[in-house]
Amino acid sequence: MIGAGPVGNHLAVKLAELGYQITVLEQQVEVAQTVCCTGILGKDCLEAFPLPHEFIMREAFSASFYSPFGRTLRIEKETPQAYVIERQAFQRWLAEQAQQRGVRYFTGCPVRNIQIDKDYVKVELNIGSLESRTVVVASGLGSGLVRRLGLGDLTDFAIGAQAEVASQVNEVELYVGREIAPGFFAWLVPTSPGRALAGLFCRRQANLYLRNLLDRLYQQGKIASPEATPSYKRVPLEPLPHTYLPRLLVVGEAAGQVKPTTGGGIYYGLVCAEIAAGVLNQALSSGDFSARQFSRYQKEWKQRLGREIRIGRFARGLFERLGDRQIDHIFGLVQSDGIHQALLNSPDFSFDWHGEFILRALKYKALHSVLRLGKIPFPKG
């Protein structure tokens, strides 16, 4: 296993429980040494993959959205729809669960190359090499391994920039607008008492936009100081063209298994890790490590997530083409027509599954008119 993030750790646990000897290679000196993640998980995610309650810092019942010209749209449910978790502690806990099941961890151990031979896979490290019957790449975006393996490249990505700040806000706040996060959104997410995470996605100049966001939030009295230590991360917005080879699978952000709408990758990655565990178990128990056997993984995860990702990518492209006045006008329509409440109460509403919710939203004629006036293309049907 290459990568000790949540996805790699979870898959290591699943395979160890099936009785296999697993080795995890992590390039950082410690597991979860540095993490740039807001740590928001949806209700569906926690129901499918429970974790100890001690890692949940806050339950999110509501959120406020702010338009470019000052409109506010607030949504609220009687039950929590999302949870803010302590991401580093969660990641370390998963690693501990794996180690308790016999998984070996080598940290501070970057992988230089992978060679796939007929009977084994050779993993080249900076201190030597290892051989294994099969390898899983769960190293996130940017390692370069998948490119060198000929699996393609993740060229469509956003840059996430985030900092921990002192704040007394008590609900999630989201901001949109060209001056704030062009084509994307910014956030202020309360975590523990008196603390919050402020951040954004953008295509470029992440440091500049984050500084501007912190200054804006400070002037509004929402954070105690604009001075903070930022962290950055590239997040893929498209899936990898190929996520398997003989004896090798790619999972999580390394495979582009991420929500294109929000950049969230933990849930999709965990779902794909479960699929990978089943495919690997069959391969290891039967001795069949062929491309045909491993292709089942890509077929199954695309059946599970492919439609969601396609709709999310369409919505992402549409949103990036909207101007500030169009966005502000949409805010006004959603408020005046009560569209947000209708969508919120629809059976399609889910923090984790956006496809049907997006399609339902696009059926409103009021939204159609705004998008068509802005010459935003719609797919046929």
Mean pLDDT calculated for residue range 282-298: 97
Structure-model confidence comparison of residues 217 and 349, the more confident one: 217
Confidence (pLDDT) at 298 = 98
For residue 316, how far is the Cα from the chain centroid? 14
Q: Predicted confidence band at 279 (pLDDT cuts at 50, 70, 90)?
A: very high
pLDDT at position 141, please? 85
Which letter, b or e, does each residue of 189-213 get, where b requires 16 or more Cβ atoms within 10 Å of its Cβ?
bbbeeeebbbbbbbbeebeebbbbb
Q: Please, what are the domains in the chain?
A: 157-236 (3.30.9.10), 307-373 (no CATH)
pLDDT in tens, 70-96: 999 998 888 898 999 999 999 999 999
Own/partner pairs, 143-148, CB within 8 angstroms, 24+ separation: 143/2, 143/3, 143/27, 143/111, 143/254, 145/2, 145/111, 145/113, 145/114, 145/254, 146/240, 146/250, 146/254, 146/255, 148/113, 148/114
Strands (E), the chain: 23-25, 40-42, 56-60, 62-66, 72-76, 82-85, 104-106, 111-116, 121-125, 128-132, 135-137, 157-166, 172-175, 186-190, 195-202, 230-236, 244-245, 248-250
The confidence score (pLDDT) of residue 370 equals 61
CA distances from 26 to 3, 4, 18, 120, 137 (A): 5, 6, 22, 21, 11
Q: Is pLDDT at 339 greater than 90 in this prediction? A: no
pLDDT at 348 over 80: no
Tens of pLDDT, residues 210-229: 999 999 999 999 999 999 99
Q: CB burial class (10 A; 0-12, 13-18, 19+) of residue 243?
A: buried
What confidence tier does 366 reach under pLDDT thresholds 50, 70, 90?
A: low
pLDDT digits over 10-65, tens only? 999 999 999 999 999 999 999 978 777 898 999 999 999 999 999 999 999 999 99
Mind listing the pLDDT tens digit for each residue in 306-321?
Answer: 999 999 999 999 899 9
Please give the distance of CA 225 from its chain centroid, rounded to a whole number: 28
Report pTM: 0.93
Average pLDDT over residues 164-184: 96
> Which DSSP string do the residues of 203-262 spell out, in sequence order?
SS-HHHHHHHHHHHHHHTTSSS-S---EEEEEEESS--S--EETTEEE-GGGGT-S-TTT
Q: What is the pLDDT of residue 349?
A: 74
Q: How far is CA 253 from CA 139, 233, 235, 237, in A?
A: 8, 11, 7, 9
100-151 pLDDT per residue, tens: 999 999 999 999 999 999 999 999 998 899 999 999 999 988 778 999 999 9
Closest by alpha carbon to 231, among 261, 268, 197, 275?
Answer: 197
As given in the structure block, the two tokens for residue 51 are 């974790």
What's the pLDDT score for residue 236? 95
Q: Of 254, 281, 279, 257, which Cα lies nearest the Cα of 269?
A: 257
- For residue 381, the model assigns a pLDDT of 44
**What pLDDT score does 60 carry?**
93
Residue 234 neighbours by CB distance under 10 Å? 15
Reported confidence tier of residue 159, pLDDT bands at 50, 70, 90: very high
Residue whose entry in the numeric block shows the structure tokens 């008590």: 170
Q: What is the pLDDT of residue 18?
A: 97
In whole angstroms, give the CA distance from residue 70 to residue 344: 22
Percent of the chain at pLDDT exceeding 70: 95
